[in-house]
Copies of this chain bind each other. A is one copy, B any other.
């Protein structure tokens, strides 16, 4: 079912196609995040139009609200949110560790209190898989523990637990129509990362996720970790770098052999009125755009840039009109998806390596990243 066809390799960058029950996924691919079964402010029709193929949704959020059993009863997540193309769900592990009010971890699982109403719940590998089977995504994740990368002793312990949980996640799976990915952990320690990459690679997962990055470490530490991990992964399985990233991260991740990315950045930036552009990031609330008749990015072919001026979008922002968030989200998501589409073309032509510095220069304006505490959805 989940055949991954490697079409072309350019340096370490890979062009691939991953077969799923909801269509073939061209990789590399960037997935918009639809935390609560909706990519914020957009209809599925708008998502399709801007070029999205894979969408991520969050197990922790959907378990708490509306409940995975409700989603199952409504025919699964594809039917519920009306996304006919591939969907990926995470394991819920990251949100339990980053978002729940309290959590108590033991070797069997984790007991936590909901950030919504304080109610107590328990996730185990078996429970995470059962929830994800109810949700019915095409790609699902083994239950994992994401540690603080600065605490090495804890990182090792969390990694070992993640490995045992990976085995239990595999055993717990009952549906054959979902690709269960194992997750490599190990923080920023190269020895642990290598150990985890080898351990997870040795298991019969159809794909491999790289977790625990973009959680507070430096960019260099993230790239170093990727340099350790990806060469140890099997060549014939897709690799998914969880919760990453910025345009720069996508370029650098693809150059290190990553195939799948997801990040809330484009939609979160949109809610902060910030837009990607070939001039760098723009904050469209800025008074300098009040009389600006240009689109956000004159180079861009998205619906927003084909129709609306910066002056209009700024007017919507200052008037507190929700359409501002919709229009900027369309643009930001289209920009990252188009970046990845362009890179697929470069890999196909075998010229990606030679384009990296140009792409980094074009997309490297990262000044506003600091204003966002985390690029993971919370």
Interface residues of A (CB under 8 A from B): 36-38, 40-46, 61, 65-66, 70, 73-74, 80-82, 290-291, 293, 303, 307-309, 311-312, 314-316, 318-319, 321-323, 325-327
List 13 contacting pairs A-B, 8 Å CB cutoff, sorted by A: A38-B321, A42-B323, A43-B303, A43-B327, A44-B307, A45-B303, A65-B319, A70-B311, A70-B315, A74-B293, A74-B309, A82-B307, A82-B312
Residue from B41, B70, B74, B312 within 8 A of A323 (CB atoms): B41
Of B40, B323, B326, the contact of A321 (CB 8 Å cutoff)? B40
With both chains docked as a complex, state the minimum distance between the C-beta of A26 and any C-beta of chain B, in angstroms. Answer: 25
A326 and B326 alpha carbons, distance in the complex (Å): 10
Residue numbers in B under 8 Å from A66 (CB-CB) = 290, 311, 314-315, 318-319
Task: Give the residue of B290, B308, B321 whose beta carbon is less than 8 angstroms from that of A70.
Answer: B290
A319 → B minimal CB distance (Å): 5
- Select from chain B the residue with minimum beta-carbon distance to A69: B291
Q: In the docked arrangement, what's the CA distance between A312 and B315, Å? A: 31
Question: Cβ of A291 and Cβ of B321 under 8 Å apart?
Answer: no
A325 cross-chain contacts in B, Cβ below 8 A: 322
Beyond A73-B291, A322-B325, list 8 extra A-B contacts (CB 8 Å).
Answer: A38-B316, A40-B323, A41-B322, A43-B323, A66-B311, A70-B315, A74-B311, A82-B308
Query: Could you say which of A42, A73, A308, A315 has the most chain B C-beta atoms within 10 Å of its C-beta?
Result: A315
How many Å lie between the Cα of A175 and that of B321 in the bound state? Answer: 30
B290 & A321 in contact (Cβ 8 Å cutoff): no
CB of A57 to closest CB in B, whole Å: 12
CB A77 to nearest CB in B, in angstroms, measures 10
Contacts of A293 in B (CB 8 A): 73-74
B residues near A307, Cβ cutoff 8 Å: 44, 82
- Which one of B37, B82, B311, B318 contacts A315 once the chains associate, using CB atoms below 8 Å? B37
CA distance A184 to B199 in the complex (A): 81
Docked CA distance A82–B305 (Å): 12
Are B318 and A65 in contact, with the CB atoms below 8 A?
yes
- Is there contact, CB below 8 Å, between A319 and B70? no
Is B312 a contact partner of A81 (Cβ separation < 8 A)?
Answer: yes
A326 touches B43 (CB 8 A): yes
A315 to B46, CA, bound (A): 20
Q: Which residues on the B side are within 8 Å of A44 (C-beta)?
A: 307
Question: Is A315 within 8 A of B65, CB to CB?
Answer: yes
Given contacts A80-B312, A82-B307, are A326 and B291 in contact (CB under 8 A)?
A: no
Q: Which residues of B contact A73 (CB under 8 A)?
A: 291, 293
Closest 7 CB pairs of A and B: A66-B315, A36-B319, A82-B307, A38-B323, A41-B322, A38-B321, A80-B312
